[in-house]
Amino acid sequence: MVDRPRIRDVASMAGTSASTVSNLLNGRPDRMRPETMARIEEAIERLGYRPSRTARQLKTGVSQMIGLLVPSVANPFHGAVAWAVEVAAQARGFQVVLGNSLRDPARERSYAGDFFDFGIRGVIAGSSPADLGHFSELMKRGLSLVAFDLVTTATGTVPPVDSVSMDNRRAGYLATRHLVELGHRRIGYISGATPTMSRRDRLDGYRQALNEAGIGSAPRLIAAGIDSALGDDDTHGAEHGRMAALELLELADAPTALVALNDMHALGACAAVRDKGGSVPEDVSVVGIDDITLASLLAPPLTTIRQPIEKLSEAAVEILTQRIAGNDPSGLEKPQDGVGRMEGASRAEHLAETDFRKLADPDAIAETQALAARLASKMRWRLSRRQRARTKGIRLDLRRTIRRNVCHGGVPIELMWRSRKLKPLRLVMLLDVSGSMSLYTSLFVRFIHGVLDHFREAEAFLFHTRLAHVSAALREKDVDRALERLSLLAQGAGGGTRIGESLATFNRWHAPSVIGSRTCVLIISDGYDTGTPAALAAEMRQLKRRCRRIVWLNPMLGWEGYAPIAQGMQAALPYVDLFAPAHNLKSLAALEPYLARL
């Protein structure tokens, strides 16, 4: 067996001392000349030398490893965290030692103590602990700690603890507000059995969304699914979620929608709905948090708030390795939310900036509809000055003129002319009239009516669970009569929506005659789709190949804190050229410069 090369072999080949080689291996190249460093690096490469981790640990007492404590890798979310942490650590020359703590402080203290005895000087606590006091003694002895989801440092923890986290309160808020916007008024919450910082914040976000909607949170609609026979709710999260959901669904005034603290509890809630003879989302809507892989495998896929596991793990490892190296890592900058005000505006300006959802006064609605039609009439295609100079008739054909005059040397010159053919840009509008868009439908219909009244090269379609071609109906000069004809064509409006199936109908039967290389497709929808994301993505891909641009107007995009979390919206976005808000007249007016550039 060939002996493993040692540091003295590298030193001998490089013509230097072993201590000089050690300086380079330990990050001290400033103690040698560049040519010496080059010789050492060449010797290391030729010999295939690798430093002995055991020898280094015996000398320094520190291992090139970090510890990771998660509640249980039986929860796929924590398995994904472990993988992401390992990838980030190996990129920095560290290995990862894993411990399943079950959120037990004594168990975490025991694991951390063993890690420290093995020479591990950095630990990531992924259990979202409410208190870190059990790590205090080890931290005083030199253990560096980074915690997930720790908002405030526990009293008595010395020194202060670094933490990485997403905004868990916002996650709970967005999940609940999504259900409120779908029209649900009785929304239950599955809180989990173990109190942690992240679970507390998500529950606060749930309550905040209900209070803002004027619903208020009822204690009877919050369930934990506690059963000691099941064990902890990380290892058996789905069963805890099932029990909690069954408890809520058996109430006399059972909730019509459920928010779960994470996706495993949400999967259990879906099972509970099936146990009661119902289905998701037809009978009960369910939203989770985390976006684990299993969420997309349900039929239909689970609606969930995505947690940026890779970014959080990368940040945690970077902070920890900097601490181990004795450096002071800079803190992450947190985005600040701004609050805008409108002062001294005229009534028209005020209506232009008022969210369509907040229009309750019939006079204000009528005035806003009139403004929408007026705005549409001003959004005309604009030709460049060169095109405007001669929009009709003939123009000089230089290519044919040159070819014709070559035969006689250009004397006399014979001019050739050609007729000018303008190719106008076409506009195709598809409006979602499903239940989740009911607050906006009337105003958007008025807007589309104004567009069709002034653009002859435009077509309009409405869709919900099916597609209807409504251009002829909306070209009626009398808008009220146009709306009467429209109501007959759009039977079923206000219910569910299948965007993918509607686009499939459009692509097959209508696109060949109304779509071309100079067509801009304008889709007005909030992106909520009861069909499969894969079907929507396939139809968007086909539509993208046919047309010039796809513009998607989402009324919710103008709301503070909105993120396109709907599975349908996420499936469609890769094929959208412009994703813009459409919650008020001002946002619609902002579309004009974009269309003019086309």
Check whether residue 460 and residue 485 sit in a common domain.
yes
Q: Where is the domain boundary, 164, 199, 219? A: 164
pLDDT for res 1: 42
Q: Which residues of 255-265 are buried (b: 16+ CB within 10 A; e: fewer)?
A: bbbbbbbbbbb
**H-helix or E-strand containing 69?**
strand 65-70
Check whether residue 174 and residue 158 sit in a common domain.
no
Across 209-228, average pLDDT: 80
Return the biggest CA–CA distance within the chain.
104
Point out the least confidently predicted range of 7-16, 149-158, 165-174, 482-491: 149-158
Strands (E), 325-469: 394-396, 417-419, 426-432, 458-463, 467-469
Point out the least confidently predicted range of 158-162, 388-392, 569-573: 388-392
Residue 395 has pLDDT above 80, yes or no: no
Question: By C-alpha distance, which of 292, 361, 168 is closest to 268?
Answer: 292
Across 366-376, average pLDDT: 59
pLDDT for res 477: 75
Across 380-397, average pLDDT: 51
Across 387-404, average pLDDT: 63
Residue 383 has pLDDT above 70, yes or no: no
Point out the least confidently predicted range of 167-176, 185-194, 535-544: 185-194
Alpha-carbon dihedral angle through residues 377, 378, 379, 382, given to the nearest 10 degrees = 120
Across 59-63, average pLDDT: 52
Point out the least confidently predicted range of 218-227, 249-258, 409-418, 587-596: 409-418
What is the C-alpha separation between 413 and 525, in angstroms, rounded? 59
Check whether residue 42 and residue 91 sit in a common domain.
no
Q: pLDDT band at residue 237, thresholds of 50, 70 and 90?
A: confident
Q: pLDDT band at residue 60, thresholds of 50, 70 and 90?
A: very low
pLDDT for res 460: 93
Average per-residue pLDDT for the chain: 77
Question: pLDDT tens-digit profile of 175-184?
Answer: 898 888 888 8
Across 33-43, average pLDDT: 85
Give the whole-number percent of the chain exceeding pLDDT 70.
76
Check whether residue 432 and residue 524 sit in a common domain.
yes
Point out the least confidently predicted range of 120-134, 399-413, 418-432, 454-468: 399-413
Residues of the domain holding 177: 168-307
Residue 437 has pLDDT above 50, yes or no: yes
Q: pLDDT band at residue 331, thresholds of 50, 70 and 90?
A: low
- Does residue 316 sit within a domain? no
Q: End-to-end distance of the chain based on CA atoms, in angstroms?
A: 72
Check whether residue 118 and residue 231 sit in a common domain.
no
Check whether residue 389 and residue 500 sit in a common domain.
no
What is the C-alpha separation between 144 and 121, in angstroms, rounded? 6
Strands (E), 310-452: 394-396, 417-419, 426-432
Total domains, the chain: 5
* Phi then psi dihedrals of residue 226, to 5 deg: -80, 130
H-only helix segments in 429-469: 438-454
pLDDT for res 546: 92
What is the C-alpha separation between 574 and 541, in angstroms, rounded? 9
Q: pLDDT band at residue 341, thresholds of 50, 70 and 90?
A: very low
Check whether residue 440 and residue 369 sit in a common domain.
yes
Q: What is the CATH number of the domain that holds 301?
A: 3.40.50.2300
Amino acid letter for position 7: I
Residue with tokens 């005229």: 346
Check whether residue 76 and residue 137 sit in a common domain.
yes
pLDDT for res 484: 67
What is the spatial order of strands in the sheet that 95-100 belongs to?
A: 95-100, 65-70, 122-125, 144-148, 162-164
What is the C-alpha separation between 89 and 317, in angstroms, rounded? 6
- Write down the pTM of the prediction: 0.51
Check whether residue 429 and residue 559 sit in a common domain.
yes
Residue 325 has pLDDT above 80, yes or no: no
Yes or no: say if 217 and 204 are a contact pair by the CB < 8 Å rule: no
Q: Where is the domain boundary, 400, 419, 438? A: 419
**H-helix or E-strand containing 68?**
strand 65-70
Check whether residue 224 and residue 303 sit in a common domain.
yes
pLDDT for res 413: 72
